Structure 1
Amino acid sequence: MKKIIALGIIALSLAGTASAQVKPEEQIKYRQAGYSFMSWNMGKIKANLEGEYNTQQVQAAANAIAAIAGSGMGALYGPGTDKDIGEVKTRVKPEFFDPANGPDIGKIATNFNTAAAELAKVAAGGDKAAVQKAFGATGETCKACHDKYRME
């Protein structure tokens, strides 16, 4: 577990280097686009769980979520992305950028990546009940970050 947390912290610490190539306002736009795309795919899975279950649609959506979750989204939280920039608005709380919260954020990010990868793995098996459980776990990891670090 400590190894996973350490990897999450390392990923967040490398974010500053990778983000140097992208303007802060673009980082905000890109991360919002990534989260919007994941949300859309979560909606597709939810619709399948509540209605007619289509294994291929669920697999595709779960794979998209896992791919974005594992893509290094932490790089889009670089310096200057902690506040609105002109017309580009952010809902990330300032506490997210406090270095003292780094271990907590690393843990939350790692939990999300792990849950998203597990969702994709379970979706590949086609078991609706297992997908329901993994879907719930993935949603809880989203909520964990929103509850602490996202403004309404």
Structure 2
Amino acid sequence: MKYINARFTVGVLAVALSGVALAADVKPADQIKIRQAGYSFMSWNMGKIKASLEGSFDAKQVTASANVIAAIANSGMGALYGPGTDKDIGDVHTNVKPEFFEKMPEVGKLAGNFVAAADNLAKVAATGDAVAVKAAFGDVGKSCKACHDQFRAKD
């Protein structure tokens, strides 16, 4: 099991580091704006799933939203945390704590947990089982909260 976890962690870090090269030509302020847009889009889709779970369950909408969340989770957003994105730049504000950049193994673990939860949500949503979606949705929320609690400054 430790071997699998080590391979998984190395894989997540490799993907994150490979994305750094892709974001190298993107200015730090733009990296912050892009990652914030990605998180905002995920949040909007989380809200649509929550509304469906609390109201009239719409399996098609939930599946679409879960697929969006999984796609963003797997998009290599780690590349948007490049040098210089640890602080505000002009009028571009970031809530990322400096500790984020100092604790990359922990960040990698949390990112891996988020990707796994998002992938599972998409898989479960495709079944149309509202009870299973609610549990998987809760797991995604917990993975988001785990990162926010450690690495996101309060507004």
Instruction: Give the TM interval when normalised to the shorter protein.
Output: over 0.9
After TM superposition, give the deviation of residue 14 of structure 1 in Å: 2.6
After TM superposition, give the deviation of residue 16 of structure 1 in Å: 2.7
C-alpha contact (below 8 Å) 1:62/1:123 kept by paired residues: yes
Per the alignment, residue 124 of structure 2 pairs with 122
1:49 has 2:22 as partner: no
Per the alignment, residue 139 of structure 2 pairs with 137
CA distance in 2, matches of 1:53, 1:124: 13
The counterpart of 1:111, out of the listed 113, 117, 128, is 113
1:86 has 2:107 as partner: no
Moved more, 12-21 or 71-80: 12-21
Moved more, 82-91 or 17-26: 17-26
- Paired residues, what number? 150
Task: Give the 3-state SS of the residue equivalent to 2:126 in structure 1.
Answer: helix
After TM superposition, give the deviation of residue 2 of structure 1 in Å: 1.8
Q: Following TM superposition, where does structure 1 have runs of at least 4 consecutive aligned residues deviating by more than 2 angstroms?
A: 11-16
TM-score (norm 1): 0.96
1:2 has 2:30 as partner: no
1:151 has 2:153 as partner: yes
Per the alignment, residue 99 of structure 2 pairs with 95
Q: Identity rate of aligned residues, in percent?
A: 60
Task: Give unmatched runs, 5+ long, in structure 2.
Answer: none
Per the alignment, residue 27 of structure 2 pairs with 23
Task: Give unmatched runs, 5+ long, in structure 1.
Answer: none
